[in-house]
Amino acid sequence: MARGSVETEIKLAMPGAAAGRRLLRASGFRVVRRRAFESNAVFDTPERRFGRGGALLRVRETGRAAKLTYKGPARPSKHKSREEREVEAGDAPTLRLILERLGFVRVFRYEKYRTEYRREGRGGAVTLDETPIGVYLELEGTSGWIDRTARRLGFTEEDYITASYGRLYLEWCAQRGRAPRDMLFRP
């Protein structure tokens, strides 16, 4: 199944997963996709052409399901908005091997636990992402829906995070004087 569109999103930092779940429930959000472990591998050319241009090529594995995703460069805005093309495939090892055979190299791996929430009759989705560097709510929908939902949850535009998990990880490592590797729960 192929999917293509423009993705518009922000992240919001949370003090913990329990606080995120309480906040979402209190605001009328219900779980539509249960908590699942995701393993992500980011690929690029040996010269890092994608990353330097602000694009991303990723293989995401959730259980037995796998997705290949291309994300284009973000458009300047208070929200992160960019082209997203995604195709579901059943075999992550084969997807990774095909990309390697085509000359791509794996440049970064990251893991997270993700739970997806929605409000009945409302557009957009909120995910609760538990990562090795912190917990985030990710709001994805139209710009107006994101702003209304962030306010409903008690956040302001100053709280918006548009950085990728890769960028957040690099900043986290720099703050702690650590050499960046892969963002994994167990190194």
The domain that holds 8 is classified in CATH as 2.40.320.10
Classify residue 67: in a domain, yes or no. Answer: yes
**More confident call, 75 vs 4:** 75
Query: Do the domain assignments include residue 150?
Result: yes
- Apex CA 138: angle with CA 127 and CA 147, to 5°? 120
In a domain, 181, yes or no: no
Q: Does some domain include residue 55?
A: yes
Does residue 143 fall inside a structural domain?
Answer: yes
- 1 band by pLDDT with thresholds 50, 70 and 90: very low
The predicted pLDDT at position 121 comes to: 77
* Domain assignment present for 24: yes
Task: Domain count for the chain, please give it.
Answer: 1
pLDDT band of residue 123 (cuts 50, 70, 90) is confident
| Contact status, residue 68 vs residue 89, Cβ threshold 8 Å | yes
Q: Model confidence over 20-65: pLDDT tens digits?
A: 999 999 999 999 999 999 999 999 999 999 999 999 999 999 998 9
Inside any domain, residue 96: yes
Residue 104 belongs to domain spanning: 2-176
Say if CB 15 and CB 31 are below 8 A apart. Answer: no
Q: Cα–Cα distances in Å, from 70 out to 21, 67, 82, 86? A: 30, 10, 10, 6
Whole-number Å distance between alpha carbons of 114 and 179: 26
Looking at residue 120, its pLDDT comes to 85
Residue 141 is assigned to a structural domain of this protein: yes
